[in-house]
Amino acid sequence: MKPARFDYACPATLGEAVALLAARPGAAKPLAGGQSLMPVLAFRLAQPSLLVDLRKIPELDRIAIGADGVRLGASVRWRDIERDARLAAAHPLLRAAVAHVAHYQIRNRGTVGGSLAHADPAAELPGIAVACDAEIRIVGANGARTVQAGAFFTGALSTVLAPDEIITELHLPAWPAARRWGFEEFARRRGDFALAGIAAFYDPAAGGRAENAHIAVIGACARPHRIAAAEAALNGRAVEEATILAAARAAAAAVDPPSDLHADADYRRALVEVMVERALKRAAA
């Protein structure tokens, strides 16, 4: 099928882009790399009357690294993250997760803002944003606001974004050099969406104990979320085999995975247990 007819605009400023979206409430959509939007249009699952291309808005394509963390502009592409050597130290978890995203053609065009707005439950970046308590900066006709990643995703392919709002930036808090981390996912082929994935980190404390544990799941859930029971099983304890296995079991018991044509709920639950175990063992090593 071909998309229904639509108008196209390519504004040079954020203000213009917001005004264009606001002028056609609910009938205009931002266009980033088109990696999800164009298939949706081609299948006529959406029929917006206007696409507002964000690629010429200069402030959206920046990666800024400072004492307060990493700021990724909405138009930053997977390939930009992969090629920015500074991120190896500034945010190794982000870099490791993004290495699992799709295939190189898609990685050349897919963007931070598009991934967050599309809100696929199996996408890596939303999982990293939630795991790290990141903030998502949004601009709309009523001004700017900042939303915690944990409150941004409301369900599969659903967010708190209003139709006239544009994501401008993802802010990941600063990453301490001593932090231990692991990212593990299972997909049927490299580059496919994960059937289940885990982003985990903790800060080492005296006696080999973990504190500030963050463990988030993708793929085996309707939306990425932290798994409090698994974090509690790790916090304050020495990071050794028994602790890791207890955290993994707690994670599997806590998730509520969907069944679909790719995998059933029990299989995904088992994957969560294994991914948590692997991620924490990698972190500890």
Ligand X SMILES: Cc1cc2nc3c(=O)[nH]c(=O)nc-3n(C[C@H](O)[C@H](O)[C@H](O)COP(=O)(O)OP(=O)(O)OC[C@H]3O[C@@H](n4cnc5c(N)ncnc54)[C@H](O)[C@@H]3O)c2cc1C
Task: Give me the residues that bind ligand X (CB under 6 A), please.
Answer: 29-37, 54, 74, 101-102, 106, 109-111, 113-115, 117-118, 123-125, 161, 166-167, 191-193
CB count, 10 Å around CB of 124? Answer: 27
Alpha helices in the chain (DSSP H): 14-23, 37-42, 78-83, 87-90, 92-98, 104-107, 112-118, 124-131, 149-152, 228-234, 241-254, 265-284
Query: Which residue's structure tokens are 């803002």?
Result: 113
Closer residue to ligand X (CB): 95 or 118: 118
CB half-sphere exposure, 57, CA atoms < 13 A:
26
Minimum separation from the CB atom of position 36 to ligand X (A): 3
| C-alpha–C-alpha distance, residues 222 and 158, integer Å | 10
Minimum separation from the CB atom of position 237 to ligand X (A): 32
SS3 content of the chain, % helix, strand, coil (to 5): 35, 25, 35
| C-alpha–C-alpha distance, residues 136 and 267, integer Å | 32
Closer residue to ligand X (CB): 102 or 284: 102
CB count, 10 Å around CB of 45? Answer: 8
| C-alpha–C-alpha distance, residues 59 and 79, integer Å | 18
Residue nearest to ligand X (CB): 114
Closer residue to ligand X (CB): 51 or 244: 51
Minimum separation from the CB atom of position 177 to ligand X (A): 27
Closer residue to ligand X (CB): 182 or 219: 219
Closer residue to ligand X (CB): 127 or 231: 127
Minimum separation from the CB atom of position 193 to ligand X (A): 5
Closer residue to ligand X (CB): 109 or 179: 109
Minimum separation from the CB atom of position 208 to ligand X (A): 34
Minimum separation from the CB atom of position 120 to ligand X (A): 6
